[in-house]
Structure 1
Amino acid sequence: MHRRSRGSGRGGIATADPSNPHEPPTPQLAGADPLRARPTEAAAHARAAVDQATGILTARLLLPPDRGLDVLRTVSQHLDEQLPDVAEDIIRWGLGHPLRPSIAEELRRLVD
């Protein structure tokens, strides 16, 4: 269900949520992919994992608050692994599971 949006002046379209007839349509630019207009659930989960892992690194390794994310990114880059995947391993470590040896070695190298 697409209808022209009013007042945008850019030739955009408005998409209505068919599951909620009371919600006003969300303005979209013509040709925009509505699935990319909002963060997906997977992206939100990945961001939350990165934030949690950053906090765990900061607390367990006694890092300055701004250094935790830098360490997490560097480990991810050095291991050539996606940041959220490394973050999930750090979270498991924070919950008492053993840390993967490759991650442990990188952390030792970066922090010591």
Structure 2
Amino acid sequence: MRRTCLLLAALGGFCGVALGAFGAHGLKHLLSDYQLDIYKTAVNYQMWHSLALGLVALLPERAALRWAGWLLALGILLFSGSLYLLAIFDIKWLGMVTPLGGLAFLAAWGLMAYAALRE
């Protein structure tokens, strides 16, 4: 699992940088300020949670941390992914998916706290 978490963290960080640059340069004149704010939020959350996923990869193997890793990856996909699509394609119903990603993030952070308290 450590290898998988580290790989997902690296891919998340790589894509976060690429998507951030694309948003700043390629989408700047195509999206409204509101859409760009949504896009920036997606990049911001993706980057922070990719770093957290990298942290999980470096910690000792624990069941709670394994689940935290999967939940972080799922959160990035649901939260940031839905915001990217919402910002670019203006598909309003995707806004209902975003909170599911947020819940995955919260659960992952809770599991990391649980793992720390059990240590």
Fold conserved (TM > 0.5)? Answer: no
- Decide which structure has greater helix share: 2
TM-score by length of 1: 0.31
- Decide which structure has greater strand share: 1
Computing the radius of gyration from Cα coordinates, the structure with the larger value is: 1
Highest relative contact order (Cα 8 Å, sep 6+), 1 or 2? 2
